């Protein structure tokens, strides 16, 4: 059975349009509750959310749906997605639920789930929920209805957990850090984490009003952080997205570091301190320079499909610890069960403190290859996979770039677009090669 509602990261869409409507979300929670009750007599579910105004409505719908199936609910209020994952595990809950559309603008929202272990759930579980959605509801009788309560210190618990991943003998004292929380779920958590570790903290993107999440701030708009670091004469700047699971970082010179560079830094820091790093997992979009730099240090590197859930699945399969995406989703599985922008930032800062070197020095072993990405609109019924001109041009490009670059052609999962990406040591070669491939697509 294929999935109708679940995408690569839960269920997401525009509020007020199917499926992000209160009636569907109530039915969804009821269906999830029935799935949970097949294995547990009295399940407990944690519900957290980001700062979108629609979170109030969806939270109420989820609460009613779970209660109607005989499931107890604990409301966490605004909390980062990885914070919900942590508390689900720490509270021994049956399931964690997050109301968030991550880096999307405020008119969107979504629902995603974490297992009792704080990990993302497999496709099989999602299919089981979708099957339950097709069945008529089975309302619990009055004596068996679920209850709801609020965990008032959820934010404080998450702050302490984040701080626990930073070595007790290290401090950020004397350092000025600019924090951009994207007016999102970490607005009241990220500043306190760095302040309590000794840093002087300056904030932008920490004043949510329900409508301004990700609005020209945060990891999707790092230029705001670059400007703020310069204005405040900061040592570092840390940008999170709306649900705080991805990270962009800026140094005191205003230089922006993406997830690929930070992933390399995290691996090198561990190697330099005698920790085993058998391999690192990236995605199809991870810059080739990172792969070559890691292999030069004896670290294996493998790629997955785009999406942090696929990175996590591969890490678990290989029993490795480090992985991530250029977008800033970074995983350190000995620190957390899922990607956490705050914890990733602390790992980078730990490397700086214990090495005594700057971000630029710690990443000088990798220089990212220039990338050219061109989106080509596909006509209805256009069969790009059997385009002989494209196949011939792709083969030619791969021969030209062998060992010095790569070609990636993939269809968008959400739009009628073909994404043509070329990576090469030389920027001109990357651009001209991508343009040739685009011409071949259009000729077919």
CA-based nearest residue to 240, from 284, 175, 194, 281: 194
39 Cβ contact partners less than 8 Å away, ≥ 6 residues apart: none
CA-based nearest residue to 165, from 188, 187, 194: 194
CA-based nearest residue to 322, from 352, 343, 349: 343
Length of the chain as a residue count: 444
Decide: 34 and 95 in contact? Cβ < 8 Å.
no
Asked, as a colleague might, if the bond just before 222 is cis with ω within 30 of 0, I would say no
What CA–CA distance (Å, rounded) separates 354 from 170?
Answer: 8
CA-based nearest residue to 264, from 355, 372, 367: 367
Which of 102, 115, 327, 344 is catalytic? The answer is: 102
Decide: 71 and 43 in contact? Cβ < 8 Å.
yes
412 in active site: no
Strand locations in 325-431, DSSP E?
A: 330-332, 371-377, 405-411, 417-424
What CA–CA distance (Å, rounded) separates 15 from 91?
Answer: 30
| Backbone conformation region of residue 409, classed left if phi is above 0, alpha if psi is from -120 to 50, else beta | beta
Report the catalytic residues: 102
């Amino acid at each position: 059975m294929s999935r109708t509602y679940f995408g690569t990261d839960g269920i997401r869409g525009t509020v007020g349009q199917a499926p992000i409507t209160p009636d569907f979300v109530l039915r969804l929670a009821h269906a999830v509750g029935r799935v949970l009750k097949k294995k547990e007599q009295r399940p407990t579910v944690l519900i957290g959310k980001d700062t979108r105004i629609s979170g109030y409505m969806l939270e109420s719908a989820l609460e009613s749906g779970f209660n109607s199936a005989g499931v107890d609910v604990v409301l966490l209020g605004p909390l980062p997605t990885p914070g919900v994952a942590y508390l689900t595990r720490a509270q021994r809950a049956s399931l964690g639920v997050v109301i968030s559309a991550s880096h999307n603008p405020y008119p969107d929202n979504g629902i995603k789930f974490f297992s009792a272990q704080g990990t993302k759930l497999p496709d099989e579980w999602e299919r089981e929920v979708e099957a339950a959605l097709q069945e008529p509801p089975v309302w619990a009788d009055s004596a068996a209805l679920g209850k709801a309560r609020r965990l008032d210190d959820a934010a404080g618990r998450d702050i302490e957990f984040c701080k626990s991943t930073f070595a007790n003998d290290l401090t950020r004292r004397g350092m000025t850090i600019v924090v951009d929380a994207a007016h999102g779920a970490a607005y009241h958590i990220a500043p306190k984490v760095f302040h309590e570790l000794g840093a002087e903290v300056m904030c932008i993107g920490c004043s949510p009003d329900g409508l301004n999440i990700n609005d020209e701030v945060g990891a999707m708009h790092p230029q705001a952080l670059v400007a703020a670091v310069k204005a405040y004469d900061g040592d570092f700047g840390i940008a999170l997205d709306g649900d705080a699971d991805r990270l962009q970082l800026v140094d005191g010179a205003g230089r922006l570091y993406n997830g690929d560079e930070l992933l390399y830094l995290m691996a090198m820091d561990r190697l330099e301190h005698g920790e085993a790093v058998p391999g690192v997992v990236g995605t199809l979009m991870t810059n080739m320079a990172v792969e070559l730099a890691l292999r030069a240090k004896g670290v294996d590197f493998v790629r997955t499909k785009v999406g942090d859930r696929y990175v996590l699945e591969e890490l678990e399969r290989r029993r490795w610890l480090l992985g991530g995406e250029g977008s800033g989703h970074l995983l350190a599985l000995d620190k957390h069960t899922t990607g956490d922008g705050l914890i990733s930032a602390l790992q980078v800062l730990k490397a700086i403190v214990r090495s005594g070197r700057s971000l630029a020095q710690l990443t000088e072993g990798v220089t990212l290859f220039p990338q050219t990405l061109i989106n080509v609109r596909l006509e209805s019924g256009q069969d790009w996979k059997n385009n002989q001109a494209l196949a011939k041009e792709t083969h030619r490009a791969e021969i030209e770039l062998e060992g010095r670059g790569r070609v990636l052609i993939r269809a968008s999962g959400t739009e009628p677009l073909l994404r043509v990406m070329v990576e090469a040591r030389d920027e001109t070669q990357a651009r001209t090669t991508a343009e040739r491939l685009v011409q071949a697509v259009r000729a077919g």
